[in-house]
Structure 1
Amino acid sequence: MLKLDDVISRITQYQPRANVDLICKAYVYSAKAHEGQLRKSGQPFVVHPLEVASILIDMKLDVPSIAAGILHDTLEDTKATKDELVVLFGKEIAELVDGVTKLSKLQFNNQEDRQAENYRKMIMAMSRDIRVILVKLADRLNNMRTLQFMPEEKQMRIARETLDIYAPLASRLGIDWIKNQLEDLSLRFLKPDIYRQLEKKIGRLRKNKEAYIEKVIEAIKQHLGKEKTDLVITGRVKHIYGIYHKMERQNISFEQVHDLVAFRILTKNVEECYEVLGHLHSLWKPVPGRFKDYIGMPKSNNYQSLHTIVICLDGERVEFQIRTHEMHEIGEKGIAAHWKYKDDGTLDMESEMTFQWLRQLVEWQNELKDSIEFMDTFKVDLFASDIYVFTPKGDVRALPYGSTPIDFAYSIHSEIGTHCFGAKLNGKIVPLSYKLQSGDTIEIQTHPKRLPTKDWLKIAVSSRARAQVRQYLKQEQKDKSLILGKNIFEEEVARYGLEVDELLKNEALWEYAKKKGITGEANLFASIAYGKISMGALLNYVAPDKKPQEVKEDGILRKIFKKVSKKTRDLVLIDGMDEILVAFGKCCSPIQGDPIVGFVTRGRGVMIHRTECPKAPIIDPQRRIHVAWNKVSDTARIAKLKITCINKTGMLAEIAKTISERKIGITKALVQTTKDEKAIISLDVGVKSLMELNHVMKAVESIDGVIIIQREIG
C-alpha cells in the first residue's frame, strides 16, 4: 500500500526544494475528512488520493497540483467547503480542487444534461488552469485501475465514458502513456473476452519479438556505422487497444495485423531526424503513403515527430518514429512539458498559445447554450484528427479529418462561411460536400445572397462551422417568429378596435408581459407566435371593456395556441425556443423517430405532421418551422395499423397477444371482413418510438395467416 513517505520521497527527487509541509498538511486534512470511508476494494479511502498524487508525480507536476490531487474528493464526498480550503491551503489549490469536483449538488433535467454540464465546467476550469484536467485524468486513471470492485453495470458506464472522453482528452493534451492505459483498461471491462484473448496473444508475441527488435536495432547501427553512435533506438510491441482498434477499423484478424512492432529513434536535432529518415528509406523500402511529417506540421497538441512504415527484416511492416530528445519529452509529458507559470499560477501566453484547441473549445462553449449540443461538439473535437490545407496565399489551416470547404470557409471568417456557395480545389471547382485532403489548396467563392441551410449540418465537421450554422438557423427561426408574432398582434389588436402604437405604450400591457417573464417588443412578438402569450388573455387584461369584432376567418391569425397538455409539450423540441405548445396531426399520427415538420396554426399552437403526410406540402410555407424529437422523452403516442389477414377463428386474439407480450397497449380495434375470405383489422397502438413500432409490426407480420401489415396515414 502506498504511503505518504513514498510520495514525499518521489517529489523531492525532481523538486528538492518542494514544500513538503504543504503536502503533509493536505494529507492529514484529507485523511481526517475521509475518516471512516472505505473504497469498494475495502481499503481506506485515503489510499485513493495518495495514488492520484503518485500519478501526478509521474507527470512531474508541481506541489499545488499534488496537494489538489490529495484533496480532490473532499468537496464532493465530505463536509469540507471551498472557503475552508481557501483558508487552509490558499486560493490556488482551492480553485484546482473545485475545478475537479463534479456537479453533484446541482439538479439537471436528466443524466445526459448533468454529464454535459460537468464537462462544460471542466473545460472552463481547464481554461483558467490546465492543471485541473491533469488532476482529473490522474483521478480517472486510478479509478480505472480499481474498477473491478465496482458492480458490472457501473464498470460498463465508467469504461465507456473513459473511452469516449478521458482517453482522447489525454491524447489531445499529448499524454500518450495515460491515453494508452485508459484505452487498455476500458477495453478490459467493455469487451473482457476480447481483451483476455489479445492479452495472451500479445504476451506470447512480446517474447518472440524481443530477439527481432534487437536484430533491427543492430541492423540500423551497422548501416549508420560510426557516424551516429549517439542515437537512442528502442522498440516495442504496440498496446492492446491500439491493435484492437486497427482490427475493428480494418475488419481484420490479429494474425492479419502486420505492423505490431514500432521503433523510436531519438536524435540531437531536427536536421538529424531527416538524415536518419533518409538512411532508413535506403536500408528498407518505405510503404507508399505511410510517411507523415509532424515536425513540419505539428499536431494541435504540439506533438512533433517523423512517422514512416517500412518493409523491414523478414518482410515485416514496421513503424518508425524519429524525433529529437526535446520532442520526445513533449510526446511523453504532453502539456506538462510546457510548464511556465506566472506568479499567480496561471499559464503564461507562450504556454497558452501551445494549445489553441483548448482556447477554441472555450470560445465555442460560450456560443453553445444547449448542454447536449455542447457535449456533441466536445466529443467531435476530442476525436478529431487534423488535416492540413492551404489558402490561395499559402497559409496553412489545420482542420479535423473529414472537413469540407464549409469547414475551411468558417475557419477563415464567419462571414465567409455564412455566404460561401462554392469552392475551387487546386483551381478546379468542387462541391461543398467534398472531403478535403492534406495538401489541398482551397479557394472559397462567396455571394451575399447565399446563406446556410439545414443540409450544411450534414456536411460540416468542425465545431466552429457547425456552431455557426446552428446559430444562424436559430436566428433565422427567431426572425420568422418575430414577423409572424407581429402580424398576429396587429390583426388581433385591430379586431378589438385598438391602435397598435398606443397599445405598445400601455403600461398594463408590459405589466402583463412582465408576469410572463417577457420584456421588449421582440420577445413579446416571438412569445405570441409560439403561443407563450395568448392574445385573447392579453387584450382582456389590457382592455377588459373591449370586445372582438366579428370578421371572416380567412387571413386572420387568432385564437392562437390553446392549452396543450404538459406531456405533449415535452415530446417535441422546437429550434431555438423553450416551452412551446404543440399538437399532433391526426391525419398522420407522428410518433417518436418519424421525420417531422412543424406548422404554426390558428388554433392549436405548433402542429406536428410527418413529412410524408399528404397535408404537409400544401400548408403555407411561411408557417413552417423546424422541429425535432426530444430523444429523452418516453411519452407514448398512438400509431394506426392496418392488418390484412386470413379470416379465421382466433386471428385477432393471436395478434393482440403478440402485441401485449411486448408491453404495448391497444386502444382501439376494428375488424372488417371481405368477400374473398380475408379480414382487415384496424388497430390503434400506443408506442414510444418508431423502432418499437417496427419491432411489433415485424412480430405481427410473422404470425401465420397475416398477409400484410401497414401503418395508416389519415
Structure 2
Amino acid sequence: MIDVEDLISLVHNYNPRTNAALIREAYDYGLKMHEGQTRQSGEPYFMHPVAVAAILTEQRLDDASIITALLHDTIEDTKSTYGEISARFGEEIAELVDGVTKLTNLQLTTSESKQSENFRKLFMAMSKDLRVILVKLADRLHNMRTIKSLRPEKQARKARETMDIYAPLAGRMGMQWMREELEDLAFKVLNPEARASIIRRFITLQKESGDVIHKITADIRAELDREGIEADVFGRAKKPYSIWRKMKEKELAFSRLSDIYGFRVITRTEADSYRVLGVIHQRWRAVPGRFKDYISQPKSNGYRSIHTTVSGRDGKRVEVQIRTRQMHEVAEAGVAAHWSYRDGVRAQNPFAVDPARWITTLTERFEGGDHDEFLENVKLEMYVDQVFCFTPKGDVVQLPKGATPIDFAYAIHTRIGNSCVGAKVDGIRVPLWTRLKNGQSVEVITAAGQRPQATWIDIVVTGRAKAAIRKSLRDEDRERFVKLGAELARVAFEHHGRKCTDKALRTAAKTLGISDETELLARIGSAELVAREVIEALYPELVSAQIEEVDARRPVAGLAADQSFRRAACCQPVPGERIVGITYRGQGVVIHAIDCPALAEFEDQPGRWVDLHWLSGRHAPVHTVSLNVTIANDAGVLGRICTLIGEQKANISDLHFVDRKPDFYRLIVEVDLRDTEHLHAVLTALEAESAVAHVERHRDINRKP
C-alpha cells in the first residue's frame, strides 16, 4: 500500500500548491474508518482507495478528487456519514463522495427497465460534477486489475459490466488509454483462450520478424531528422482485445490483419504535424481510405490528431497518429484534461472541451422521457465513431459512423428532418437509407406536409433523430387515438342512455387517475382502456361490478338443452345484435341477425322460427365477421391495417384479395370479435386510417347459412 507521504509526493509533482495537510488528514481518516476491513484477497481494504487516488494522480487531478478517492467507500462501508465528511473536509468533497457512493449502488446490469432508470441516474450524477465519474472509472480500473480474487461468476458479471458500460464510457470521454486497459482486463476474464492465442501469435511474429516496433520507430526518426523536424516517436503493438475486435469485425484471420502496430509522433506545433504527415507519405505508400484529419475536424470530446495508415517496412501496414503535445494530453486524459493541474494551477489546455457539454445536452434532450429510450440513445452516443459531411453551403456536419441522410437532416434541424422526402449526395439522388461517408456533400430535399415514417426508426443511428421521429409518431398516433377514442366513448355512453359530455369525461379521468379527458380518449383509442371501464367509473349501477364470462360453447338463450346451433354464414351475427333461430332437420338451429335478408324465405314457415337472444356478460372473441376493406396500393399499408386490428385486440383468422388495381386493392378480412362494440371499435380504427379508402361489414346473401 502506498504511504501517505508518497501519495502527497505524487500530487506535489504536478501541483506544488497542494493542501498536503488535508490529504494527510483524509488518508488517516480513511485508514481509521476502514480499520479491520479486508478485501477478498485478504489485503487491508484501505489499499484500494489509496490505489484509486494514485490512478488519479496520473491524470494530475485536483486535491478534491484525490481526497474523494481516499474516502469514496467510507459512507457506504463504514460508520462515516455525509455530515461528518462535510464537517471535516468541506461540502464540495462530501458531495463528491456521496455522488460516487450513489454510483456504486447503481446496478447497471440488472433488468432492462431498471438498468434504463439507473443509467439516467448515472448521467444525472455526471452532469452535476464530472469528477464523480472520473473517480468511479479509476475505482473500476483498480477493481479490474485485482479481479482475480473474486468468485468466477462475480468476475464474469463485473467484466461484462466493464465491457458494456465503463469501457465505452471512458472512450466517449476521450480517456482512450483507460478504455483500452478496461477492455483488455475484461477480455482476459470473458475470453481468456482468445486473448492467450493472440499473445502467442504476437510472440511467434516477433521471433519471425524481429523487433518490428524498434525498427519502424528508428525509420520514422531518421526521416524526421533528415527534414530537421523536432518530434518524439513512440511505437506499440495494439492491445489483444483491439486486435480480436478487428478480427471479428472484418472476419479476418490474425495472419491477414495489417495494422496491428501503432505509432505516435508528438510534435512541437500544429504546422509540424502536417510537415510530419508529408514526410511519412513521401517515404511510405499511403493506404487509400485510411486517412483522417481530426485536427481540422476534431471529435466532440476534444480529440485532435492526424491518422494515416502506410505500407511500412517489409510491406507491413502501420497506423501513424500525429499530434502536438497539448493535443496528446487531451487524447490521453480526455475530459480529465479539463480538471488537470500543472504547477499548482488548472492547466489551460486550449483543446480540452467542457466535459459537461455532451452530458448536459444528452440529459436535457431526454428530460422526462422514456427510460428505455434514454438508455438506447446513451449507448448509441457512447459507441460512435464519426464521419464529417458538408451542407451545400460548405458547413460541416459531424455524424456517427453509419449515419444516413435522415440523420444529417435532423442534425441540421428537427423541422428539416421531419419534412425530409429525399436527399442528394455529391449531387446524385440516393435512397434515404444510404450510409454517408467522410467528405460527402449532402443536400436534403423537403416537402410541406411530410411526416416521419415509422420505418425511419430502423434506418437512423443518431439519438437525436430517433428521439425526434418517435416524438412525431407519438403525436400523430395520439391525434388518431383521440379521435377514435371519442367515437368509441360516444357509442358506449349512448348504449347506456347517457351523453358523452366533456364534464363526464373529465370526471371519469379523475376517477381513473388519468391526467385529463384528452389522455382518457387517447387510451380508449389505443385499446389501453376499454370504454366500458369509463362507464363503470361513472355509473357503477349500470354495469355489473363483476361481469361474468359467457361460455363460448353456449352463448345464446332460448335453445333446448339438446339442440345444436351455428351462426349463419350469410349475416354472421355477433353478441349485441338482435337474433332469431331457424331450425333445420338434422342440423339443429342456425342463428341469423334479425335484419338478415335470408329470413324472407322463411316468412311462411313460422314453425321453424326460434326466439333467441345473446346471454349477457363478456363474450369470448370467437365470432368471425367479414370486413370489406379497400386500401391504397402503397408499401406498408397492409401491415398497418393488420396492426390497427391487432391494437383493438382482435384476431385476423383469414384474409384474401378480391380485386387488384394499380392504385387500390380490395380485400376481405375475417376478424374474430367479441360483440358489436368490439366490431364498431375495429371499423372506427380502420376508418381513421388515411390509407383506407373504404371499409364496411361484408354480408354475402348467397352464402349458405
**Shorter-chain TM-score category?**
0.7 to 0.9
Between the aligned partners of 1:339 and 1:304, the Cα distance in structure 2 is 18
Moved more, 464-473 or 484-493: 484-493
Residue 388 of structure 1: SS of its match in structure 2? Answer: strand
Give 1:72-221 correspondences, 5 Å limit: 72-102=72-102, 111-203=111-203, 205=205, 211-221=211-221
Between the aligned partners of 2:168 and 2:359, the Cα distance in structure 1 is 13
* Structure 1 position 192, deviation (Å): 0.7
Change in 2 beyond 3 A, CA 1:348/1:84: farther
Find the counterpart in structure 1 of residue 326 from structure 2.
Answer: 326
Change in 2 beyond 3 A, CA 1:586/1:178: farther
Cα deviation, 1:258-315, whole Å, max 9, x if unaligned, reads 3222221121111111112111111122222222111111122211111112222222
Residue 649 of structure 2: SS of its match in structure 1? Answer: strand
Q: Calculate percent identity across the aligned residue pairs.
A: 41
Find the counterpart in structure 1 of residue 503 from structure 2.
Answer: 505
Find the counterpart in structure 1 of residue 240 from structure 2.
Answer: 240
The letter of the residue matching 2:56 is: L
Change in 2 beyond 3 A, CA 1:112/1:69: farther
Between the aligned partners of 2:466 and 2:40, the Cα distance in structure 1 is 42
Find the counterpart in structure 2 of residue 423 from structure 1.
Answer: 423
Change in 2 beyond 3 A, CA 1:492/1:2: same
Change in 2 beyond 3 A, CA 1:584/1:79: farther
The letter of the residue matching 2:365 is: W
Between the aligned partners of 1:557 and 1:391, the Cα distance in structure 2 is 61
* Structure 1 position 405, deviation (Å): 0.8
Between the aligned partners of 1:179 and 1:319, the Cα distance in structure 2 is 19
Change in 2 beyond 3 A, CA 1:12/1:78: same
Change in 2 beyond 3 A, CA 1:384/1:616: farther
Between the aligned partners of 1:356 and 1:285, the Cα distance in structure 2 is 40
Between the aligned partners of 1:267 and 1:358, the Cα distance in structure 2 is 31
Between the aligned partners of 2:576 and 2:95, the Cα distance in structure 1 is 54
Cα deviation, 1:128-151, whole Å, max 9, x if unaligned, reads 222122111101101111111222
Between the aligned partners of 2:174 and 2:106, the Cα distance in structure 1 is 32
Find the counterpart in structure 2 of residue 363 from structure 1.
Answer: 364
Change in 2 beyond 3 A, CA 1:203/1:50: farther
Find the counterpart in structure 1 of residue 649 from structure 2.
Answer: 607
Paired residues of 1:597 and 1:624 also in contact (CA < 8 A): no
Find the counterpart in structure 1 of residue 517 from structure 2.
Answer: 521
* Structure 1 position 325, deviation (Å): 1.4
Between the aligned partners of 2:136 and 2:303, the Cα distance in structure 1 is 22
Find the counterpart in structure 2 of residue 435 from structure 1.
Answer: 435
* Structure 1 position 490, deviation (Å): 2.0
Residue 367 of structure 2: SS of its match in structure 1? Answer: helix
The letter of the residue matching 2:297 is: M
The letter of the residue matching 2:362 is: L
The letter of the residue matching 1:45 is: Y
Cα deviation, 1:304-351, whole Å, max 9, x if unaligned, reads 11111222222222221111111111111211223389xxx9x99996
Find the counterpart in structure 2 of residue 489 from structure 1.
Answer: 489
Between the aligned partners of 2:313 and 2:395, the Cα distance in structure 1 is 41
Paired residues of 1:285 and 1:311 also in contact (CA < 8 A): yes
Give 1:531-546 correspondences, 5 Å limit: 535-536=531-532, 538-539=534-535, 542=538
Find the counterpart in structure 2 of residue 478 from structure 1.
Answer: 478
Paired residues of 1:403 and 1:461 also in contact (CA < 8 A): yes
Between the aligned partners of 2:419 and 2:317, the Cα distance in structure 1 is 47
Between the aligned partners of 2:510 and 2:20, the Cα distance in structure 1 is 58
Change in 2 beyond 3 A, CA 1:103/1:69: closer
* Structure 1 position 32, deviation (Å): 4.0
Residue 375 of structure 1: SS of its match in structure 2? Answer: helix
Between the aligned partners of 2:109 and 2:61, the Cα distance in structure 1 is 37
Paired residues of 1:489 and 1:525 also in contact (CA < 8 A): yes
Residue 308 of structure 2: SS of its match in structure 1? Answer: strand
The letter of the residue matching 1:279 is: V
Change in 2 beyond 3 A, CA 1:609/1:275: farther
RMSD between superposed Cα atoms in Å: 3.8
Cα deviation, 1:635-654, whole Å, max 9, x if unaligned, reads xxxxxxxxxxxxxxxxxxxx
Cα deviation, 1:626-668, whole Å, max 9, x if unaligned, reads xxxxxxxxxxxxxxxxxxxxxxxxxxxxxxxxxxxxxxxxxxx
Change in 2 beyond 3 A, CA 1:335/1:203: farther
The letter of the residue matching 2:503 is: K
Change in 2 beyond 3 A, CA 1:525/1:107: farther
Residue 61 of structure 1: SS of its match in structure 2? Answer: coil
The letter of the residue matching 1:315 is: G
The letter of the residue matching 1:358 is: I
Residue 219 of structure 2: SS of its match in structure 1? Answer: helix
Between the aligned partners of 1:217 and 1:547, the Cα distance in structure 2 is 86
Find the counterpart in structure 2 of residue 41 from structure 1.
Answer: 41
Between the aligned partners of 1:466 and 1:89, the Cα distance in structure 2 is 44
Residue 497 of structure 1: SS of its match in structure 2? Answer: coil
Of 685, 688, 698 in structure 2, the residue corresponding to residue 623 of structure 1 is 685
Change in 2 beyond 3 A, CA 1:116/1:77: farther
Find the counterpart in structure 1 of residue 636 from structure 2.
Answer: none
Which of 1 and 2 has higher RCO (CA within 8 Å, sep 6+)? 2
Between the aligned partners of 1:352 and 1:323, the Cα distance in structure 2 is 17
* Structure 1 position 535, deviation (Å): 4.4
Find the counterpart in structure 1 of residue 312 from structure 2.
Answer: 312
Find the counterpart in structure 1 of residue 630 from structure 2.
Answer: none
Q: Which has the larger radius of gyration?
A: 2
TM-score where L is the length of structure 1: 0.73
The letter of the residue matching 1:98 is: D
Residue 440 of structure 1: SS of its match in structure 2? Answer: coil
Between the aligned partners of 1:109 and 1:186, the Cα distance in structure 2 is 15
Residue 500 of structure 1: SS of its match in structure 2? Answer: coil
Moved more, 440-449 or 489-498: 489-498
The letter of the residue matching 1:505 is: K
* Structure 1 position 542, deviation (Å): 4.0
Find the counterpart in structure 2 of residue 337 from structure 1.
Answer: 337
* Structure 1 position 49, deviation (Å): 1.2
* Structure 1 position 511, deviation (Å): 5.3
* Structure 1 position 600, deviation (Å): 6.6
Paired residues of 1:389 and 1:437 also in contact (CA < 8 A): yes
Cα deviation, 1:562-609, whole Å, max 9, x if unaligned, reads xxxxxxxxxxxxxxxxxxxxx99899xxxxxx99965579xxx94165
Between the aligned partners of 1:22 and 1:382, the Cα distance in structure 2 is 36
Paired residues of 1:597 and 1:608 also in contact (CA < 8 A): no
* Structure 1 position 21, deviation (Å): 2.8
Between the aligned partners of 2:351 and 2:212, the Cα distance in structure 1 is 43
Between the aligned partners of 1:536 and 1:59, the Cα distance in structure 2 is 64
Residue 461 of structure 1: SS of its match in structure 2? Answer: coil
Residue 235 of structure 1: SS of its match in structure 2? Answer: strand
Change in 2 beyond 3 A, CA 1:530/1:322: closer
Between the aligned partners of 2:361 and 2:441, the Cα distance in structure 1 is 23
Residue 266 of structure 2: SS of its match in structure 1? Answer: strand
Change in 2 beyond 3 A, CA 1:289/1:534: closer
Residue 42 of structure 2: SS of its match in structure 1? Answer: coil
* Structure 1 position 16, deviation (Å): 1.6
TM-score where L is the length of structure 2: 0.74
Between the aligned partners of 2:648 and 2:24, the Cα distance in structure 1 is 63
Cα deviation, 1:136-178, whole Å, max 9, x if unaligned, reads 1101101111111222222222212211221121112111211
Alignment length, in residue pairs? 581
Between the aligned partners of 1:126 and 1:463, the Cα distance in structure 2 is 19
Between the aligned partners of 1:276 and 1:108, the Cα distance in structure 2 is 44
* Structure 1 position 411, deviation (Å): 0.5
Residue 432 of structure 2: SS of its match in structure 1? Answer: coil
* Structure 1 position 410, deviation (Å): 0.7
Residue 432 of structure 1: SS of its match in structure 2? Answer: coil
